[in-house]
Amino acid sequence: MSQPTIESILQENRLFHPSAAFSQNAHIKSLDDYHRLYEKAKTDPQTFWAELAATELHWFQNWDTVLDWQPPFAKWFVNGKLNISYNCLDRHLTTWRRNKAALIWEGEPGDSRTLTYAQLHREVCQFANALKHLGVQKGDRVGIYMPMIPEAAIAMLACARIGAAHTVVFGGFSAEALRDRLIDGEAKVVVTADGGWRKDAIVPLKEQVDKALAKGSVPSIAATLVVKRTGQEIQMQGDRDHWWHELQAHVSANCPAEPMDSEDLLFILYTSGSTGKPKGVVHTTGGYNLYTHITTKWIFDLQDTDVYWCTADVGWITGHSYIVYGPLSNGATTVMYEGAPRASNPGCFWDVIEKHGVNIFYTAPTAIRAFIKMGDEHPKARDLSSLRLLGTVGEPINPESWIWYQQIIGGGRCPIVDTWWQTETGGIMITALPGAIPTKPGSATLPFPGILAEVIDLDGNAVGANEGGYLAVRHPWPGMMRTVYGDPDRFRRTYWEHIPPKDGQYTYFAGDGARRDEDGYFWVMGRVDDVINVAGHRLGTMEIESALVSHPAVAEAAVVGKPDELKGQDIVAFVTLEGTYSASDELLKELKQHVVKEIGAIARPGEIRFADALPKTRSGKIMRRLLRDLVSGVEISGDTSTLEDRSVLEKLREG
């Protein structure tokens, strides 16, 4: 029999079954097992989650109620006491895992470091004591603005250990964006580094922190804790700034984990939504610990000998849940990599896999597409035979990329888990369980046990097979966000009232479009709101528009996503200028740079188009939908009768 070609596989639309050998050794071994678990969780969710919480986690004190649901506010494991840092570290120290590698770190310039569970525990305790020394107490918030180095994970675990909530800000965000997040979270201390490596260059993180804190603009901040990474000269300010290595020499390595209430704040993570200001997504301790633990175990089918690598940055939810908390709670070996895919080092991911014998590999479609473009010779020149499972996250994966991933990286033998979830959901919601659920290229397949996911219309009714609709969840789950930090009303409005509650039944609205096929498989189509997904980074169009109009030359701005072969979507901005300004190449560059300054390089528009006017409704609302169609090169669809001045659109089309 001849090998099927990629074209024939695509035409066949065939199912990919896990091998018998994979299924036999997997935690969840068959479709029947999956269905049994799913039914059990659906019929009696409280017993399902309580049994897992009791067997999978260590509790200092048992809960008395599994779920207290006052829609849309949930409390899980009410009055239970635990500490996620204890579950990630201490409980492994009394087992053979004490000297197992907990964290393998690969630095951008080629340096590397391995920390065993005992060593990681020691560093976390010291870091926690350093934070205490700087005045951090249970209930405080700590900002973390770090490169991808072990101290980023250490700082998170240290906060959790003493009951301070962390708010990690991605190191690619600008000083302005950092400042906004620190102010909103009222952080007491910021943890940072002198610099970090990013695509062969140094990102001056401490300098950005100085800018963010300039002139006392974040009044809650008492101190910074600075890790030495890149070694260039930086300014240390008197009483405010402290070197980690100096404090480390003086602090004790004894720091018992604080017993936390199950519903105590664990972290805030800011994410983009439809309105201008990013939302502080709130996650609490018990439910998040359980949900990230069990999803990591079952979805990545963690075995004790596995080396597991998730390529995300700890600045995003994927890094929180699937580099740090989920894997460590399971006692796994987790890899952390400071580098990123780039043309100057086209084999970098494959080198890490070969060097550390990675067994489970979890990355994003945008990275896969970038590597496809760099050529098959790079992965083919490395030994990738250690791989046994592949995962993807962050955006829909196109079937061509899926097949390439399966064949070229997975050697045709590794199941692929395409995992759909969000910052808000805390952990993976729709995914294959690799030993149990056959996969289809481009589909995230079926919901995780306990997740009542559906595709519905705006009245809240399920749509039929293969009909388009909105992705929604019917029942609370332990990993769900609890609220928007400081704004419970926004939480209610954004997620739980899009679909009008009926008879006390609340439905979670995810903001994604989707369909289910005749087998019940989910096909996620992308955002239905004003959120765009650029190279797997989630950005609000309004955020970018606000950044643009804060420039004196800009009168009005409208930002839309344009389909992009590599990044999934690219940012296109339409701007009208204030009377005294005129369009020029210099201004164009200046505006792009202005967005970088306000938000960060991830938000730099690929294209800015100057316009005389923007298409608006008679009531003055910008019709972004028309601009979206325009930049996508498709026929303008839908109703245009509310458009105030049709000639505006004609002019834009002529360019």
Binding positions for ligand WTA, rule: CB under 6 A: 271, 316-318, 393-396, 418-423, 444, 510-512, 524, 526-527, 533, 538
Which of 306/512 has CB closer to ligand WTA? 512
192 sits in which H/E element: strand 189-193
- The CB-nearest residue to ligand WTA is 423
For the CB of residue 650, give the shortest distance to ligand WTA in the complex, in Å. Answer: 33
Q: Is the dihedral of CA 135, 141, 143, 148 positive or negative?
A: positive
Which of 230/318 has CB closer to ligand WTA? 318
For the CB of residue 391, give the shortest distance to ligand WTA in the complex, in Å. Answer: 9
For the CB of residue 230, give the shortest distance to ligand WTA in the complex, in Å. Answer: 27
Which of 141/538 has CB closer to ligand WTA? 538
Which of 18/427 has CB closer to ligand WTA? 427
Strand 101-106 with 554-564, pairing = unpaired
Q: Give the largest CA-CA distance in the chain.
A: 74
For the CB of residue 537, give the shortest distance to ligand WTA in the complex, in Å. Answer: 7
Strand 189-193 with 141-145, pairing = parallel
For the CB of residue 3, give the shortest distance to ligand WTA in the complex, in Å. Answer: 28
For the CB of residue 543, give the shortest distance to ligand WTA in the complex, in Å. Answer: 14
Which of 92/562 has CB closer to ligand WTA? 562
Nearest to 176 by CA among 137, 139, 218: 218
Which residues on adjacent β-strands are paired with residue 554?
577
For the CB of residue 316, give the shortest distance to ligand WTA in the complex, in Å. Answer: 6
Which of 301/512 has CB closer to ligand WTA? 512
DSSP character at residue 216? G
Q: Whats the size of the chain, residue-wise?
A: 655
For the CB of residue 457, give the shortest distance to ligand WTA in the complex, in Å. Answer: 19
What contacts 476, CB < 8 A, 6 or more positions away? 67, 69, 74, 76
Q: Is the dihedral of CA 365, 367, 373, 378 positive or negative?
A: negative
Which of 170/349 has CB closer to ligand WTA? 170
For the CB of residue 263, give the shortest distance to ligand WTA in the complex, in Å. Answer: 22
What contacts 365, CB < 8 A, 6 or more positions away? 392, 394, 395, 396, 397, 398, 401, 536, 568
Which of 80/427 has CB closer to ligand WTA? 427
What is the four-CA torsion angle of 322, 392, 338, 214, rounded to 10 degrees? Answer: -70
3-class DSSP state for residue 241? strand
Alpha-carbon distance of 532 to 534, in angstroms, equals 6
3-class DSSP state for residue 174? coil
Which of 68/400 has CB closer to ligand WTA? 400
